Amino acid sequence: MTTIIDVAKQAGVSFKTVSRVLNGESNVRPETKDKVLQAAQALNYRVNSAARRLRSKTPHLVALFLNNPSRSYAQDVQIGAMAGCQDAGFTLVVEDPEKNGAIERLAAQDGLLGAILTPPQSDDPKIIARLNAARVPFVRIGTERSVAGSNQVGIDDRAAAVDMTNYLIGLGHRRIGFICGPQDHEASLRRYKGYCDALQAAGIAFDNDIIERGDFTYASGLTLSERLLALENRPSAIFASNDEMAAGCLAAAYRRNIRVPEKLSVTGFDDSPVARVIYPALTTLHQATRDMSQKAIALLDQKRRQDSDEEIVVKLPHELVIRDSTGPFIPN
Amino acid sequence: MTTIIDVAKQAGVSFKTVSRVLNGESNVRPETKDKVLQAAQALNYRVNSAARRLRSKTPHLVALFLNNPSRSYAQDVQIGAMAGCQDAGFTLVVEDPEKNGAIERLAAQDGLLGAILTPPQSDDPKIIARLNAARVPFVRIGTERSVAGSNQVGIDDRAAAVDMTNYLIGLGHRRIGFICGPQDHEASLRRYKGYCDALQAAGIAFDNDIIERGDFTYASGLTLSERLLALENRPSAIFASNDEMAAGCLAAAYRRNIRVPEKLSVTGFDDSPVARVIYPALTTLHQATRDMSQKAIALLDQKRRQDSDEEIVVKLPHELVIRDSTGPFIPN
DNA sequence: CTGAAAGCGCTAACAC
DNA sequence: GTGTTAGCGCTTTCAG
């Protein structure tokens, strides 16, 4: 195992200088820095995070507040957060933000680096207020509503919905139904906005009859799709705001013997595990949920190091994933 | 922050004795041990894993070999493993066992505690042989086939399938279809065995016509259920060996307009996230996948400490989860 | 069975 | 800009 002492010898500097370089402290001459970095590389040096943590009493606890009805979403967030913690040698504590006093109890703990908020808590003013009162730094995930002094990581939901809608339009669909997510959910509204914007840009008339309000559950997707499919002039495509509702939509299509994608195109959003498990496999919009929470932890860490107060907003890329639930519009 | 020195003072012993107690070394008088434990409790002492790892050059890397088609299963395993690692201050490396040389590369690494194998690799003789050749300790998850020198963590699949079948029989069902998992999958065979055993115990004649062989995919569940439901004398209940096939079964029932659970009871196995997302919510058998991998890591750790070679087999409890996809048998 | 001394790899504080 | 010294909390020798 190589230590900073080995690196220092190789580079011909004191081991303290190596430490400085490794921690990105500013007062090191660039050429010295290069020498150190090269030596570290050559010796395949890896920091010993145990030693670092032992010495520097830097916070090592990260709280993930998680209370989301979608288990797959929760799992993705958690895996990303755990990965982020391992990267930096932190310990993750997963807590239910609704639990009484959970926030305050954690804030009182020693060595709390910060917290991560997930939807729908990302947009809950009460929770944000409690966090601020307890002076706990936090990052909000999967939201775009800005809040004073808050960092956030997410995708551009509107743009993503535009992409999805344009894809359907490109397939020849003109009558595209839309199933909204819950109204108190920031991302839902942005997705709806994207849908509307894309229609307008394509010069397609907006029709309120083929817009439904769901709540992200399979059941709501099923019921509302039944309604859409019962219409005399039913849509040739349905854009559901998440995968679980899209799954419900597929079931509704089955019931009515409407073949997907021949007679009906269906799309979801999120690229959750359901999307692959269902038949036909869902065309959906992949968002890197895992990366979000991982990134969020890196953010927390970085902000502490730089002792920075500025609000950081990170936008991650999204990706349209085309599977089997969508196809070209075929007139009857 | 309390240290072992604080605990030692409180207990009136030297701090080394505290260390001994904490590490479960044998040569400590029981009463001394009690005193120390009480003091630790009173002071709310928590080991500083950073300090421990820094000093004791104990292995800190755990490899999780994961290559499972079911994403939800994989996530569960991973979350459990990460939790187990955090408990003990280990670092988790997730690897694809099929990747060329992955096993050997890891084995060559410094500080590898051991590996965790998940299905279907848990029963792959080649992989087991390579692990043995590289002298990497490992724990196999979700399997019951015993292999010389191997530790395993799982549930009693046969007993669980018996419970499920008995539940259906208790509802009055006599004609219970069964959809097998893949034949090379140890757990599949045990589940099938449990189904057969329960039927026999209840004096129900076994009927080969209502047994199908699936492969754990949604698509196979759909196709095979179609076949079962097309039978003149179709079953009143179908027991699918995992949730994804059960989901396919529900879709098949929809297609034929067979109402679930009124006209057909459907059960899955695993209690994966799909089970809740689908309509009607699946009656299934919960197995604590997360706990399994967490437990597996604790096992690896324990075995290293005790320098033990004995084979350990851990059986975790399972639980029948009754939701909405099953109901009493109603004659036509 | 228990204790004293040494030191893991790193960073904080203070020199120079 | 860079180096020196001390010591984090724990386990590992080695003595009793």
Q: What is the pLDDT of residues A239-265, one digit of tens each?
A: 999 999 999 999 899 878 899 999 999
The minimal CB distance from A50 to the residues B53, B273, B274 is found for: B53
Q: Which of A249, A258, A271, A277 to mutate to test the interface with B (most CBs of B within 10 A)?
A: A277
Q: Is the pLDDT of residue A201 over 90?
A: yes
Element at A302 (helix H, strand E): helix A289-305
Is A323 inside any structural domain? no
Closest by CA position to B276, among listed A26, A322, A119, A71 = A71
Residues B109-150 have pLDDT tens digits of: 778 899 999 988 998 999 999 999 998 999 999 888 888 778
For residue A222, CA distances in Å to A81, A179, A267 come to: 32, 10, 14
- pLDDT confidence of residue B26: 77
The minimal CB distance from B244 to the residues A72, A92, A277 is found for: A277
Same domain as A145, residue A25: yes
- pLDDT confidence of residue B151: 92
Same domain as A45, residue A124: yes
- pLDDT confidence of residue A150: 80
Q: Is the pLDDT of residue B220 over 90?
A: yes
Q: Spell out residues with C-beta < 7 A from strand C.
A: A 1, 3-5, 15-16, 19, 22-23, 47-48, 51-52, 54-56, 58; B 13-14, 16-17, 20, 27-29, 32, 51, 54-55
Residues A51-110 have pLDDT tens digits of: 888 888 888 889 999 987 677 788 889 999 988 888 777 888 898 888 888 888 888 777
Q: What does the pLDDT average to over B174-179?
A: 98
Q: Is the pLDDT of residue B299 over 70?
A: yes
Q: Is the pLDDT of residue A211 over 70?
A: yes
Å between B112 CA and D7 C1'?
29
- pLDDT confidence of residue B194: 98
Residue B55 phi, psi (nearest 5): -80, -55
Contact between chains at B273 and A278 (C-beta distance less than 8 A): no
Nearest amino-acid residue to C5, taking CA and C1': B16
Same domain as A224, residue A142: no
A148 is near strand D: CB distance < 7 Å: no
- pLDDT confidence of residue A171: 98
- pLDDT confidence of residue B318: 96
Same domain as A170, residue A226: yes
Is B58 inside any structural domain? yes
Same domain as B66, residue B24: yes
B75 is near strand D: CB distance < 7 Å: no
Same domain as A132, residue A31: yes
- pLDDT confidence of residue A69: 66
Same domain as B212, residue B121: no
How many beta-carbon pairs below 8 A join chains A and B?
87
**Among the three residues B248, B272, B287, which one is the final residue of a domain in this structure?**
B287
- pLDDT confidence of residue A309: 78
Record the pTM.
0.80
The counts of H helices and E strands in chain A are: 13, 12
Nucleotides of C under 7 A from a protein CB: 1-5, 7-13
- pLDDT confidence of residue B69: 66
Contact between chains at A254 and B254 (C-beta distance less than 8 A): yes
Is A211 inside any structural domain? yes
Most confident of A86-100, B45-59, B315-329: B315-329
Q: What does the pLDDT average to over B282-287?
A: 96
A1 is near strand D: CB distance < 7 Å: no
Same domain as A282, residue A136: no
CA dist., res. B54 & res. B11, Å (int): 26
A295 is near strand D: CB distance < 7 Å: no
The minimal CB distance from B54 to the residues A50, A82, A279 is found for: A50
First to last CA, chain A: 71
The minimal CB distance from B254 to the residues A75, A82, A251 is found for: A251
The residue type of A213 is R
**Chain A nearest-CA residue for B76:** A75
Contact between chains at B50 and A50 (C-beta distance less than 8 A): yes
DSSP B208: G
Residue B13 phi, psi (nearest 5): -130, 180
Asked if residue A119 has a cis previous peptide bond (ω within 30° of 0), the answer is no
State the nearest Cα–Cα gap between A85 and chain B, in angstroms. Answer: 10
Is A128 inside any structural domain? yes
Is A332 inside any structural domain? no
- pLDDT confidence of residue B83: 87
Same domain as A150, residue A296: yes
Number of domains in chain B: 2
Give the CATH number for residue A150: 3.40.50.2300
Instruction: Give me the residues paired with residue A284 across strands.
Output: A321
CA dist., res. B112 & res. B106, Å (int): 7
Same domain as B283, residue B164: yes
pLDDT band at A208 (very low <50, low <70, confident <90, very high): very high
Contact between chains at B276 and A71 (C-beta distance less than 8 A): yes
Is A330 inside any structural domain? no
Percentage of chain B beyond pLDDT 70 is 99
Residue A10 phi, psi (nearest 5): -55, -40
Q: Which nucleotide has its C1' atom closest to residue B48's CA?
A: D9
A274 is near strand D: CB distance < 7 Å: no
Q: What does the pLDDT average to over B147-159?
A: 90
CA dist., res. A51 & res. A301, Å (int): 18
State the nearest Cα–Cα gap between B152 and chain A, in angstroms. Answer: 24
Order across the sheet with A237-240: list the strands. Answer: A211-213, A176-180, A237-240, A265-267
pLDDT band at B34 (very low <50, low <70, confident <90, very high): confident
Is A331 inside any structural domain? no
CA dist., res. B149 & res. B280, Å (int): 44
Q: Is the pLDDT of residue A308 over 80?
A: no
Same domain as A62, residue A27: yes
Contact between chains at A1 and B110 (C-beta distance less than 8 A): yes
Is B332 inside any structural domain? no
Percentage of chain B beyond pLDDT 90 is 51
- pLDDT confidence of residue A72: 74
State the nearest Cα–Cα gap between B95 and chain A, in angstroms. Answer: 14
Local structure of B76: helix, strand or coil: helix
Q: Which residues of B touch A (CB under 8 A)?
A: 1, 48-51, 53-54, 60, 71-72, 75-76, 78-79, 82-83, 85-86, 89, 91-92, 110, 218-219, 222, 244, 247-248, 251, 254-255, 257, 273-274, 276-279
Nucleotides of D under 7 A from a protein CB: 1-5, 7-13
Residues B126-136 have pLDDT tens digits of: 999 999 999 89
- What average pLDDT does the structure give for chain A? 90
Residues B59-87 have pLDDT tens digits of: 888 999 998 766 778 888 999 998 888 87
The residue with greater pLDDT, B187 or B211, is B211
| Structural domain for A220, as ranges | 157-287
Q: What does the pLDDT average to over A176-184?
A: 94
Same domain as B121, residue B161: no
The position carrying tokens 């324990």 is B302
**Chain B nearest-CA residue for A76:** B75
**Among the three residues A248, A268, A287, which one is the final residue of a domain in this structure?**
A287
| Least confident piece of the model among A238-252, B33-47, B155-169 | B33-47
Instruction: Give me the residues paired with residue A273 across strands.
Output: none
Å between B51 CA and C11 C1'?
14
**Chain A nearest-CA residue for B280:** A219
Most confident of A151-155, B9-13, B31-35: A151-155
Residue B100 CB contacts under 8 Å (≥ 6 apart), including other chains: none
Percentage of chain A beyond pLDDT 70 is 99
